Amino acid sequence: MNLLQSLQVAGRSLLRNRTRSLLTMLGIIIGVAAVIVTISIGAGARVSVQQQINGLGSNLLIIVPGSVTSGGARSGLGGASTLTPADGLALAALPHVAAVSPMVTAREQVIANGSNWQTTISGVSPSYTFIRSWPLASGTLFSDTDVAASAKVAVLGQTVLSNLFPNGGSPIGSTILIKNVPFTVTGVLTAKGQSSSGQDQDDTVLVPFTAAMQRLTGQTTVAELMVSADTSDDIALVQTEVTTLLEQRHRVVAGQPDDFNVRNLQDIANAASATATVMEYLLAGVAGVSLLVGGIGIMNIMLVSVTERTREIGLRIAVGARSMTILVQFLIEALLLSAAGGLIGIAFGAGASLVVAKVSQWPLQIPPSAMVIAFGVAAVTGVFFGYYPARKAAAMNPIEALRFE
Amino acid sequence: MDAVTPVVRVEQLTKIYEVGDQRVLALDHIDLTLMPSEFVAVMGPSGSGKSTLMHLVGLLDRPTSGRYFLEGRDVAALSSDDQADVRSRRLGFVFQSYNLLPRTTAVENVELPMIYAGVPESERRKRALEALAAVNLSHVVDHLPNQLSGGQQQRVAIARALVNDPSMILADEPTGALDTKASQDVMELFKELNERRGITIFLVTHEPDVAKNAKRIVTFRDGHIISDVAAADAVLS
């Protein structure tokens, strides 16, 4: 009696009791599906967070002014006006810094073409689109020469474009009024969509920061400096360099708090990723428990099945089955149940993951390793919990088994 | 002078059951020889030892002491696995309650012993159909046990006992659950198998009407053989 024949005998015996087989598999099906869904949700959330953070910019450090204390009232971060375009130039000279852009923002009414729209004017340098990984859809960006000349040129976000030029047609070359100052449109940004906080990132107009400072804010300081490190490995190094350099430039006395704050997006990403990992472990633990319960279900049914089939086992022994053959048959039955349950569970789990991905708009992530592991654990569970009933069947005394009522 | 080898030869066969503190002497130093093509009915009241003897001869149980030669081979000391192989290839069993696998067709039930005897799949179906033809059940090969009458089910069981071409069939009260007509059919079948194929039949029964179909009748009481006569000479109560 070879393994193939054992497989046939076991398979036939399972097919003869379809309902019972299906009910036995249910525990494993739910367990495996739960494992697949939880791992897929965890992985999807992780990728989604990573995508949002990448969307902010690559290898990005954001430097904001520190707090200012005025009459005992502390303004909070960004309240001070300490960052200057010169700081930006100094930072750009540091090693491992790929690009720097100052950022000056103002909320202004924009008029063009008979329409008007209030939007955020962002005064930036030409490296801004590189730092934010935000290419232009058409036209050109202003140049460093435009920045030096405080040129009155602008690049429109998609939301602004659709509101100021509702009839379509290229806005490039047309003139818009920002705070009644005429700016020439040179380009249009691609759509970026919502930020992680739900803001419409396309509702903006980019202008040279020099122009924004002179014509719009009238200030000599900038709201923030965006620094892009050349690789993600260098972010921590660049953060130290930036801090040291700015402390020197701002003559921060040792021991005193800095008058600026460096935000590292990688830290945020890592924290989010760590949270996702903890969630994954938690969910996988719950799923593991349900697999265990499924395994105990298999043992339960197999024990009932062995008792119920006592006479059958007695007969098989009488007509020449060796006890090892009986053991293998029942083990294979348990294995088939858990393996089939595992496969069905993977199918259900993948389906449920698809639904979750659709609803949450996360990318669908089902790591193949998750399927292999879930299936493997299910199969091992089947054999582990099937062994005791199988041994019980194999150890039966045929005379007593045949007399069993 | 090549003497014919007996199918069964037991010497001083003894079986003692230990139930709690009690020792029950089920078989007390039995000597018995069955020649090829014999048809022996073993009779006796309950607890007389006839079923115990069948279990020992059928290698379903081990004797406490004594020797057992099956077709000249000392089988009492074989390992469980080797005994299973002997059961599979040399012995056939028929039980009072048929013991067919439920939800399994007649022909698949008959194939069962061949699976354990290692008969290739291609040959199994053919031999199972032949065995069913031999018991006149060619018309119900694909029926399930619960679609068959008691007599038909017992004939399927006989086909199953027959299919590995055994030297001996052991039948334990094979007519116990059947009506008179079906009992007669089954006994006719045993006689035919015995006479046409030369299969030794070891029949355990307590019904004289059934036992008289045999050629030889051995009667047990309290673990001893109290009579061993040709059926024609038996005085059946």
In angstroms, rounded to a whole number, what is the distance separating the alpha carbons of residues A366 and A368?
A: 6
Contact A318/B115, CB-based, under 8 Å? Answer: no
Contact B88/A319, CB-based, under 8 Å? Answer: yes
User: By residue range, what is the domain housing residue B49?
Assistant: 36-59+79-232
ipTM: 0.93
Residue A171, pLDDT above cutoff 80? yes
**Minimal Cα–Cα distance from B23 to chain A, Å?**
19
Q: What integer pLDDT is reported at residue A194 of this predicted model?
A: 76
DSSP B130-192: HHHHHTT-GGGTT--GGGS-HHHHHHHHHHHHHTT--SEEEEESTTTTS-HHHHHHHHHHHHH
Q: Which of A140-144, A210-214, B70-74, B229-233 has the lowest mean pLDDT?
A: B229-233
Q: Which of B89, B104, B116 sits opposite A321 (nearest CB)?
A: B116
Count of the separate structural domains present in chain B? 1
Is residue B55, in this structure, part of any structural domain at all?
A: yes
Contact B112/A322, CB-based, under 8 Å? Answer: no
* A interface with B, Cβ–Cβ below 8 Å: 1, 5, 9, 12, 16-17, 311-312, 314-325, 398-399, 402
Is residue B31, in this structure, part of any structural domain at all?
A: no
Q: What is the mean pLDDT of residues A217-223?
A: 86
Is residue B183, in this structure, part of any structural domain at all?
A: yes
Is the pLDDT higher at B55 or at A44? Answer: B55
Residue showing tokens 């920045």: A147
Is residue B187, in this structure, part of any structural domain at all?
A: yes
Q: Using an 8 Å Cβ cutoff, are A172 and A185 in contact? A: yes
**Minimal Cα–Cα distance from A401 to chain B, Å?**
11
Q: Which long-range contacts (CB under 8 A, 24 or more apart) does B121-130 make?
A: B121/A5, B127/B163, B128/B159, B128/B163
Q: Using an 8 Å Cβ cutoff, are A170 and A185 in contact? A: no
Residue of B nearest to A395 (CA): B80
Residue A11, pLDDT above cutoff 60? yes
Q: What is the mean pLDDT of residues B201-220?
A: 93
Residue of A nearest to B101 (CA): A312
Is residue B216, in this structure, part of any structural domain at all?
A: yes
Q: What residues 99-118 of chain B have any CB closer than 8 A to a CB of chain A?
A: 99, 101-104, 108, 112-113, 115-118
Please check whether residue B93 touches A, CB under 8 A: yes
State the best of B17, B19, B60, B110 to mutate against chain A, taking most chain A CBs within 10 Å.
B60
Residues 6+ apart with CB under 8 A from A15: A21
In angstroms, rounded to a whole number, what is the distance separating the alpha carbons of residues A351 and A37?
A: 9
Q: What is the mean pLDDT of residues A129-158?
A: 90
pLDDT in tens, B164-184: 999 999 999 999 989 999 999
pLDDT in tens, A275-298: 878 887 887 788 788 888 888 888
Is the pLDDT higher at A60 or at B9? Answer: B9
Q: Which residues pair with B10 in a beta bridge?
A: B32, B68
Give the pLDDT band (50/70/90) at residue B53: very high
Q: What integer pLDDT is reported at residue A196 of this predicted model?
A: 64
Contact A323/B81, CB-based, under 8 Å? Answer: yes
State the best of A8, A18, A21, A315 to mutate against chain B, taking most chain B CBs within 10 Å.
A315
Chain B residues near residue A319 by CB distance under 8 angstroms: 87-88, 93, 112-113, 116, 160
**Minimal Cα–Cα distance from A396 to chain B, Å?**
11
Residue of B nearest to A2 (CA): B118
Residue showing tokens 């103002």: A106
Q: Using an 8 Å Cβ cutoff, are B81 and B88 in contact? A: no
Contact B160/A319, CB-based, under 8 Å? Answer: yes
Residue A394, pLDDT above cutoff 70? yes
Residue A324, pLDDT above cutoff 50? yes
Residue B236, pLDDT above cutoff 60? no
Q: What integer pLDDT is reported at residue A274 of this predicted model?
A: 82
Q: What integer pLDDT is reported at residue A113 of this predicted model?
A: 75
The average confidence (pLDDT) of chain A is: 86
Residue B1, pLDDT above cutoff 50? no
Residues 6+ apart with CB under 8 A from B125: B107, B111
Contact A320/B95, CB-based, under 8 Å? Answer: no
Is the pLDDT higher at B216 or at A252? Answer: B216
Residue at B204: amino acid letter: V
Q: Using an 8 Å Cβ cutoff, are B1 and B179 in contact? A: no
Q: What is the mean pLDDT of residues B57-85?
A: 93
pLDDT in tens, A36-92: 888 888 888 878 777 777 767 668 888 888 766 666 666 666 556 788 888 888 888
Q: How do B22-34 and B8-19 pair as beta strands?
A: antiparallel
Q: Which of A311, A314, A321 sits opposite B84 (nearest CB)?
A: A321
CATH number at residue B158: 3.40.50.300
Q: What integer pLDDT is reported at residue B94 of this predicted model?
A: 95
Residue of A nearest to B104 (CA): A16
Q: What integer pLDDT is reported at residue A261 of this predicted model?
A: 85
pLDDT in tens, B91-120: 999 999 999 998 899 999 999 999 999 898
